[in-house]
Every structure is written in structure tokens, then in C-alpha cells.
Amino acid sequence: MTLTREQEALLNGEKGEVMAKIMKTLVMFGDTFGAERLVPVTGKYGHTVISYGLKVLGPVLDVFDEIIDAGLTDGQKFSADPRPLDKNVPSNLLEDIVFQKIMYTDQARYEEQMRKLGILDDDDYTCTCYLPEVGNIPKKGDVLSWAESSAVVYANSVLGARCNRNSGMLELMGSVAGYVPEFGFLLDEGRKADWIVEVKCKKRPEAQLLGSAIGMKVMEDVPYIRGLDRWLGTELTQEVCSYLKDFGAATASNGAVGLYHVDHLTPEAKESGESLIRENAKVYVIDDAELEHVEAGYPVVWKNKYAKPQLCFVGCPHLSLSQLEDWTFKIENCLRYSGIQKVSVPTVFTASTPVIRAFTASGGAERLKKCGVILSYICPLMYMNNPLCKAKAVITSSNKLRTYTSARYFTDKEILDIITSREGRI
């Protein structure tokens, strides 16, 4: 890799040993992928996937201390993934002890580190930093140093920004140094599609199922998706963006997709069309039967697979304002139809604090509360990240949450039916 004189000086310790280690990490990382140079981060803000002071991640927090102690706190500001704890989310005494005394004992230390390193605001803990209410929205072509698989795939695919699938820690190092190695999704060649996905469903495919199927098939490759515009149209409306948010999160967690193109819809597909497809791209045809097959393959890890659900999580990734409005309307109607006042399964909807604030201002939060639904900024994945939750029958419409925890996947429609039925059973 060829470095500029300034980069060379940083690598050789001009700004101290810690900055030299950061540069060494970035250079080694770039060399592994054949990067020829480090390029400046041009996005205004960063985003970090780390949002929790887990005791086990002590070594990660020790590195942050090294960076802070070296005075390297003038890098770009950033948002962060959602917090792992919220007292509004139901938990029993034992869970509280595990959360507070065993798992997240370093939460205060971590949040203080984030303030020193440059978090935008104490409210900017969300995986959906790119939503308008939060405002960390990169421009097309911006080079980013982000991590959080669902945010990276959204920034690349829906916003047309340029970001590799960086790991936690590495993204902050890019923000501190102000450089990232140029390879992969930063280059035009790396944004070309290795797969053509033909969507031939007879009904609009569930975003989280379609994303899961594609992720498991293409792994880390770039898919060019034909036939989805039939269901989504050709404009990036709020509703379509919400669909793509959930779809992308599933591709990234069930596989390792960092960029997808949707024919006639996403910015680069609109601009360049099928010239984005590589020669000899592989083809994957998805119809309703294929989606059913994929769903049937999900393991059910509940001890009793007929158990009555004890908790329901919706919002991984965090819900958008339009999704909250849509869910509230549907829940109110279904509860009326069932002749009950409140949901029959303890239910938590998760969204960023700025989105919750906007939803509250519009009166929606009060309506949702009347339906018995709890609204929280929590990260459901971090909440469920403990063995006690394995004994709980948790349902979700998030394929990401399903992948990492014992939560059982149901489509949005099935979740709606379960939580608004009198019995609250699957």
C-alpha cells in the first residue's frame, strides 16, 4: 500500500504510539484486501456497533482507554448502536441481577468513554442512525467508517454511500485516524453484482424472509434483485425504505451481505441498471415455495414448541416512525375485532429515542400504550443475550433476532394475530 507522507508519519509514531497502532491496524487490514491506499473518511459522522459495557468486552474498553489517554479524541463524531438495558422492558429479579451484576457492569464506563470519544448525543444510541429523526444520513458517494451490519448494508444500498463491513473497534479507529483502506465497496468494481436474484413470488414477499433467503444463498456477495420493484414500486418512499431496512438487516445477519441492488429502485440500480451485473453472475430464483422452504428450515429451540409466548419483540432493527404508525393502527383494529383492550402477550416495540419522541409528539405513543404495548429504545438482541432468556418463549418478526437468540420467528401478520388474539397463543 502506498501511503501519503502524512499517513507515513502517523504510522511511524508522529502522533504517538497509539495512533501508530491504529494506523498499523488499518494498513494491515487494507493490505489483506489488496488496498492500494488509505482514503479520507468523507461522511460527516461515524457509527459504531458497540453500545454496551459488557464485562466480557473489557479488553475492547481497555483499547478505548488507550485511545482516550493518548488524547486522540478529536476524530469525527458518531452515533452508536442501541443500549442493552431499559427499565421499562419486563424483566424478573433474577434477570435484573444477571444484567446489572454480571453482564453489563461496565455500562457507565463505556458510555463515559463514548462521550470522550465523540458520541453525537446521549440519545443517539440506535441501529437506525440513518432515519431522518436521528439525522446521521450520509450522502451518495460518501466514504464511511461505520460498523453495524444492518446500517452498513442500508447506507451502501439505499443511500449509495461507500462503506465496507467493518468490525466493531475498527470503525472507531477509522473515525479517529480519518482514513479507511480503499477496497471492496469503496470501489466501483466492488459494487458489482455476483448474483442475479429473480423474485417470482405471487404475493409481496415478507422483507425479513426474503432477506434471510438471499443472505443464506449469496453469503457475502452482492445480489442484483429483479422483480421486487413489482411489489415495492420505483420510488424510495418512507414505507419502501422501512421495507429495505428490514430486508437488508436479514441479508446481513443471515448471510454477510453488505450491498444489494434492487432493479429500478435503489440509486445505483436506477442509474446504471444491469450494467452492474458481473459476467457469469449466478442466478437464484425465489418464489413463494422457496420462502416457505427457508422458513421451515429455521430451528425451533424452545423446550416446548407449543408454549404460550411470554414476550414479543418487534423492532430489530429499530422501527421507523411510519412502521410504528402502521403497527398501532393495525393493533387497534385487531384488538377491536377480538373484543379485548390490550395485547394478550407482553409486547415490546423498539425504536430510537428521536423516533419515539416524534411518535409521542404525534399522539401515537399514547395510543400504542393504551393497547398495552411497551415502547423502548432497547436493543432486543442485547436484552436476550443471556441464558435465562433461553428458557423464555419469545416471539419476534426479526430474522436478525431469531438468528442470534432463542426467539422464534413469525411474520408480521402472524405476530399481529398472536398478540391481538384473546388467548395469545401461536
Partner 1 sequence: MKEFKGRVVVPGTCKAEALVSRNGFNTLASFQMALMFNKAGVPCGDQNNPDINGMPMQGKALCLPITIGSTTGGMILFTACKTGKAPACMLFSQSIDSLAASGAIMGSVWSETSMPVIDRLGEEFLETVKTGDSVTVLNDGIVQIG
Q: Are 353 and 377 in contact (CB under 8 A)?
A: yes
Q: Taking CB under 8 A as the criterion, which residues in 100-159 touch partner 1?
A: 103, 147-149, 152
| Residue 55 Cβ vs partner 1, minimum distance, rounded to whole Å | 8
Residue 12 binds partner 1 (CB under 8 A): no
Size of the site for partner 1 (CB under 8 A): 46
- Tell me the closest approach of the beta carbon of residue 25 to partner 1, in angstroms: 5
In the beta sheet, which residues pair with residue 347?
A: 312, 373
- List Cα–Cα distances, 126 to 65, 222, 251, in angstroms: 23, 26, 19
Nearer CB in complex with partner 1: 163/355:
163
Applying CB under 8 A, does 63 fall inside the site for partner 1? yes
Residue partners of 5: CB distance under 8 A and separation at least 6: none
The crossing angle, in degrees rounded to 10, of helices 170-177 and 58-69 is 10
In angstroms, give the least distance from the CB of 256 to partner 1.
Answer: 4
Tally Cβ neighbours within 10 Å of residue 310: 15
**Cα separation of 400 and 403, whole Å?**
5
Contact 80, 155 (CB under 8 A): no
Site track for partner 1 across 327-346, x = CB under 8 A: --------------------
Task: Please select the residue that binds partner 1; options are 73, 310, 360, 386, rule is CB under 8 A.
Answer: 386
Residue 166 binds partner 1, judged by CB under 8 A = yes
- Compute the distance between CA of residue 409 and CA of residue 207 in angstroms, rounded to an integer: 13
- Which window, 84-92, 116-124, 254-262, 354-362, contacts partner 1 (CB under 8 A)? 254-262
Task: Considering only residues 262 through 301, tell me which ones interact with partner 1, judged by CB under 8 A.
Answer: 299, 301
Q: Which residues contact 402 (CB under 8 A, 6 or more apart)?
A: 298, 396, 408, 409
Of the residues 107, 175, 406, 420, which one makes contact with partner 1 according to CB under 8 A:
406
Query: What mask, x for binding partner 1 by CB under 8 A, covers residues 186 to 225?
Result: -----------------------------x---xx-----
C-beta neighbour count of 259 within 10 angstroms: 29
Q: Minimal distance in Å, beta carbon 216 to partner 1?
A: 8
CB of 121 to partner 1, least distance (A): 22
> Quick one: which of 9, 15, 21, 334 contacts partner 1 (CB under 8 A)?
21
Q: Where does residue 133 rank: exposed (0-12), middle (13-18), buried (19+ CB within 10 A)?
A: middle
Angle (nearest 5°) at CA 159 between 275 and 32: 70
Counting contacts by CB under 8 A, is residue 49 touching partner 1?
yes
Residues 81-110 that bind partner 1 (CB under 8 A): 103
Q: Is residue 39 involved in binding partner 1 (CB under 8 A)? A: no
Question: Would you give the distance in Å from CA 59 to the centre of its chain?
Answer: 24
Residue from 53, 138, 184, 205 touching partner 1 (CB under 8 A): that is 184
Part in contact with partner 1 (CB under 8 A); list of ranges 246-254, 276-284, 316-324, 336-344: 246-254
Cell numbers standing for residue 186: 469503496
- Nearer to partner 1 by C-beta: 145 or 421? 145
Q: How far apart are CA 16 and CA 1, in angstroms?
A: 21
What are the strands, taking DSSP E only, across 85-234? 179-181, 193-199, 223-226
Q: Which is nearer to partner 1, 166 or 396 (CB)?
A: 166
The single residue among 1, 3, 15, 25 that binds partner 1, judged by CB under 8 A, is 25
Task: Considering only the stretches 4-12, 53-61, 327-335, 362-370, report the one whose residues sit in contact with partner 1 under the rule CB under 8 A.
Answer: 53-61
Which distant-in-sequence residues (6+ apart) come within 8 Å of 287 by Cβ? 200, 201, 202
Owner of C-alpha cell 446481513: 252
Q: Please provide the size of the chain in residues.
A: 426
Whichever of 60 and 137 has its CB closer to partner 1, that residue is: 60
Which amino acid type is present at position 162?
R
Contact between 253 and partner 1 per CB under 8 A = yes
Name the residue among 150, 29, 126 with its Cα closest to residue 78.
126
Residues that bind partner 1 (CB under 8 A): 21, 24-25, 28-29, 32-33, 49-50, 54-57, 59-60, 63, 103, 147-149, 152, 164-171, 184, 215, 219-220, 252-256, 299, 301, 385-387, 403-404, 406
